[in-house]
Structures are given as C-alpha cells and as structure tokens.
C-alpha cells in the first residue's frame, strides 16, 4: 500500500513527510502514516444538498420545516421551532444540566417523533434513571463510542431527533486518533452534519468546555454547526441561563431562564420576581437595578455590606456573581468623588439569585448599595438605580433604557435614577405611558443625595 503522507493524530495536520513535532498543535511523536486510499476516501464521500442553482428571490425562509415545541420561550429562542436538518451544539460546564435539558426535549414536542439518544460516556441504566426522573418515555438509546453504530441505528429507526452526548467521546472507524482529539471531533461532526442535511434529522451535540470556558476541540466544530448554545449558571444556585451565540435559523439575542429542580429543568416565566426577594428590600445596603439578557430586561437585587475589618491592615473585598475588578474600580471612584474612605473596612457585594452580572448598567446600583450600607440609610422604597459609572464619577448612558424602564413599571417601581444624558435618546411617547418617576443624575454625588 503506497504512502499518502503523514497526519497528526492529535489535530489532523497533514504533511508529505514524517515530523517529530507537529507544527500545528506542538505534539511530539503524533504523526502517523496514511494510505493513498484512505486519503482518497477522506476526500470523497456523499455530496450534501444539491448543486442546481436557484434564484435567491424565489427562496422563502418560511419554507423551512420546523418542529414546534410546547414552550413559547423555546420556540422564540430557536426562531419559531427547531428547524429540520439543523445541527445544534449545546455546551456548558460539567453538571450544569446539559444532559437533563436534552432528555426533557422529546417531551416538549407538539407531535410525537422518533428520538435516538446516543451516549459515549453513560450506560443505559444511568440515562434511564434520568429519563424517569424528568418523566420522559419512548426514547431509543444506544451506548457506544463508535459513530457508525449511531448512524446505523438512526437510519434504522428513521429518527427525527438525534442527541449525541457528547461529541468528544465518539470516534470514526479507521481514524487512528483517540476520541476527543481535534481530528476525531472534526470527523464526527462532519459525518453528523452530513446526516442532518441529507436526511432532515435534527441533531443535538453536547460539547465539553475547557478550563478557559471555550468549547473543547477544533474551532471548526462551531463553524460547521448551525446553532451554538451555552447553558450557564452557578451550580450552587438553581438558576440556569441558556444563551444563543450563533443561529442560522433565527435570532441570537434571546435567552431562556430555567430553575433546576429534582424533576428536571423548569422554565422561569417571570425572572424579575424570581430574582427579587421582597423581604430584603427596604434595608441598608439593598437596592434594585436592571440588566438586559438578550432581548429581555430583568430586575435584580444588589446587596452590599460594609463593616469594620477584624484585620484593618488587610481589609477584605469580596464579590459574588459580580466582577471583583469592577468592584475595586467602583470603590476607588467613590473614595475620590464622595470623599469617603474604606480603609480598614471590609466590603462585601452580592447579587443573589445565581445570575452572573456583566452588565455595566449595574454600576450605579453598586455605588448606591455600598454607600447605603456605609451610612446605614436606605433610599425610598421602590427605587431603581441604572447607569454606568466612569472614572470621573459621571453616570453614563446604558443601552435599552426603554426596555429596562418598561420592566420596572410592570414590577411597580415608583422611581428610577437614570443617566441625565438619556434626553433625546429614547422615545418620549413611550415615557409618557410609564408611571415610573424619572430622576436624571449626572454623577454619583447627585445620585447619593437620595439618601439625605
């Protein structure tokens, strides 16, 4: 058998001659000889779709067949339901609920369809136990790491939905690389995409993530799939947030919130009420703010505690569900422009509910919560603080202010401190319909006058 060159078993890099170290991934001793026949087979294969040209003006997006779900939020999330022939990659930290969510998926379809669940890391007993816990029946299951077994079973069952858990545990026969290696992940993904496009099967892939939070495997994996979804949340909290970062069949700015329960994931219909504890309001160090997740505005609590430190020379700064570096930034601005000192004081900041906050619109609420705890006073009840804080102490404009105010109005908020620069940037007619009293402020000094 004549040589067709060499290939790296770790990343799939090809070379005409053997190399001790792969120039692509840096692995040592990973090059293996491949035959000319294998190279031809790898380059061939079934053509996807059709090569006949069509007029784009005659193509209707509404002609895409979609399977509807018994969930308004999920239908909206996927752009009107799951598109036939789509390949969806679901990723997230271990134990966050990816397998639980996919096990519940078959029960959400309006019409019953054949479903095949393929696992390369769990036994039939483990998956069956999860299915019983979430109340799902009539799902076919296969435990294997051989992708050919999965493809054969999918064709034999004529399944409409294929769940592959996870893509890093499967391998294509004839490939020398181990499951999970970049070359294997690429080949597995390509074969599954081919199945989806030629048979109209909806394929869900579970993807592992690395320590840095990125999806493990080659970047090609994210490029060739149609939809990329992340399931996020703090495992100490029951709240889970599903976000879409790529969607060829719909929008990418929708989010769905779930609560993890003993019987699976349950959709959170009213996130703002879920995240706010009424009994905590009206106390020093507790204020309200608003964040935007996708196209949805949510009200959140911001809690702060400022207390004398047991070790004044090593005062603590602790932030939960908020960027600690951002807290240092805000404390420095407060010391400079409010004339207060946190020397010898411990500062604790918490965003309860389990939602990690990355929206800088919460800056003003952090200032208000810390100041409230420091002076031991609270603002009038039902006051919202929204605005980004700059180094000069100014309150800067934030996006989607109309959306935030509409949610505040629906939640019965009476007053809202917002950036003074809002004038001319939001619809005045919409403002007239709101019952919320607007208090424009230009800097944190003006804003903290609500405590006097």
Is the pLDDT score of 3 beyond 60?
Answer: no
pLDDT (tens digit per residue) in 144-158? 999 999 999 999 999
Average pLDDT over residues 376-397: 94
Q: Where are the beta strands (DSSP E) in 276-407?
A: 286-293, 296-308, 317-320, 345-350, 383-385, 388-389, 395-396
Residue given tokens 């409230």 in the structure block: 372
Q: Is the pLDDT of residue 451 over 90?
A: no
Query: Quick one: pLDDT at residue 220?
Result: 84
Q: Compute φ and ψ for 107, nearest 5 degrees.
A: -75, -10
DSSP codes joined into one string, 163-200: EEE-GGG-B-TT--SPTTSHHHHHHHHHHHHHHHHHH-
pLDDT band at 39 (very low <50, low <70, confident <90, very high): very low
In this predicted model, what pLDDT tens digit does every residue of 271-299 receive, in sequence order?
999 999 988 899 999 999 999 988 889 99
User: Does position 210 have pLDDT exceeding 90, yes or no?
Assistant: no
The answer to whether the beta carbons of residues 250 and 256 sit under 8 Å apart is no
Q: Which two tokens stand for residue 410?
A: 């629906």
What pLDDT score was predicted for residue 15?
85
Q: What would the pLDDT profile of 313-336 be if each residue is shown by its tens digit? A: 999 999 999 999 999 999 999 999
d(CA 338, CA 196): 60
Q: What is the pTM for the complete model shown?
A: 0.82
Exposed/middle/buried for 156, CB within 10 Å: 0-12, 13-18, 19+?
exposed
Asked if 333 and 388 touch (Cβ cutoff 8 Å), the reply is: no
The ranges assigned to domains in the chain are: 3-42, 65-269, 273-451
104 against 422, higher pLDDT: 104
Specify the CATH number for 65-269; select among 3.40.50.2300, 3.30.470.20, 3.40.50.300, 1.10.10.10. 3.40.50.300
pLDDT of residue 35: 53
Q: What CA–CA distances, in Å, run from 33 to 27, 36, 88, 322?
A: 16, 10, 34, 51
Report which of 291, 108, 323 is spatially closest to residue 204, judged by C-alpha positions: 108
Mean pLDDT of 49-57: 72
Predicted pLDDT at 40: 41
String of DSSP letters for 214-283: SBSS-THHHHHSSEEEEEE--TTSSEEEEEEEEETTS-S--EEEEEEETTEEEE-S-HHHHH--GGGTTS
- As a 3-state breakdown, the chain gives helix, strand, coil percent values, each rounded to 5, of 35, 30, 40
Nearest CA among 192, 353, 196 for reference residue 286: 353
| Non-local CB neighbours of 324 within 8 Å, separated by 6+ positions | 317, 318
pLDDT of 38 over the 50 cut = no
Q: Which of 403, 298, 408, 310 is nearest to 359 (CA)?
A: 298
Q: What is the rounded average pLDDT for all residues in the chain?
A: 89
* Contact predicate 275/257, CB 8 Å: no
pLDDT at 269 over 60: yes
Instruction: Please report the pLDDT score of residue 51 as a whole number.
Output: 61
The band of 22, judged by pLDDT with boundaries at 50, 70 and 90, is confident
- pLDDT reading at 344 higher than 70: yes
Question: Under CATH, which architecture does the 273-451 domain have?
Answer: 2-Layer Sandwich (3.30)
């Amino acid at each position: 058998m004549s040589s067709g060159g060499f290939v790296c078993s770790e990343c799939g890099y090809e070379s005409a001659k053997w190399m001790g170290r792969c120039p692509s991934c840096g692995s040592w001793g990973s090059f293996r000889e491949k035959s000319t026949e294998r190279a031809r087979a790898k380059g061939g294969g079934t053509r996807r779709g059709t090569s006949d040209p069509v007029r784009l003006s005659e193509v209707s997006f509404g002609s895409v067949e979609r399977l509807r779900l018994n969930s308004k939020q999920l239908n909206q999330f996927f752009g009107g339901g799951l598109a036939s022939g789509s390949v969806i990659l679901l990723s997230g930290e271990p134990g966050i609920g990816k397998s639980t969510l996919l096990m519940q998926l078959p029960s959400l379809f309006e019409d019953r369809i054949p479903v095949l669940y393929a696992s390369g890391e769990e036994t039939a007993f483990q998956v069956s136990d999860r299915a019983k816990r979430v109340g799902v029946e009539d799902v076919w299951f296969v435990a294997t790491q051989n992708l050919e077994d999965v493809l054969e079973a999918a064709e034999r069952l004529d399944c409409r939905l294929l769940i592959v858990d996870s893509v890093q545990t499967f391998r294509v026969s004839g490939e020398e690389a181990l499951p999970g290696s970049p070359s294997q992940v690429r080949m597995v993904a390509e074969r599954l995409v081919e199945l989806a496009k030629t048979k109209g099967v909806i394929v869900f892939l579970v993807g592992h993530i690395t320590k840095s939070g990125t999806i493990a495997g080659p970047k090609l994996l994210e490029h060739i799939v149609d939809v990329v979804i992340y399931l996020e949340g703090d495992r100490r909290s029951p709240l889970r947030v599903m976000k879409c970062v790529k969607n060829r069949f719909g929008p990418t700015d929708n989010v769905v919130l779930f609560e993890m329960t003993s019987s699976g994931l349950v959709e959170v219909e009213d996130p703002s009420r879920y995240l706010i504890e009424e009994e905590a309001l009206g106390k020093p160090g507790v204020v309200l703010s608003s964040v935007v997740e996708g196209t949805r505005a949510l009200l959140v609590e911001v809690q702060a505690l400022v207390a004398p430190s047991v070790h004044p020379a090593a005062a603590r700064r602790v932030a939960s569900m908020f960027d600690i570096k951002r807290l240092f930034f805000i404390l420095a601005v407060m010391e400079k422009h409010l004339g207060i000192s946190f020397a010898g004081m411990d500062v604790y900041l918490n965003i309860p509910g389990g939602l990690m906050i990355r929206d800088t619109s919460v800056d003003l609420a952090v200032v208000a919560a810390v100041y409230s705890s420091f002076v031991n006073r609270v603002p009038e009840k039902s006051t919202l603080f929204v605005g980004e804080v700059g180094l000069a102490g100014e309150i800067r404009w934030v996006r989607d202010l109309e959306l935030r105010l509409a949610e505040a109005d629906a939640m019965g908020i009476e007053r809202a401190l917002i950036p003074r620069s809002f004038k001319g940037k939001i619809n005045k007619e919409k403002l007239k319909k709101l019952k919320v009293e607007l208090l424009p402020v230009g800097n944190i000094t003006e804003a903290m006058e609500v405590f006097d």
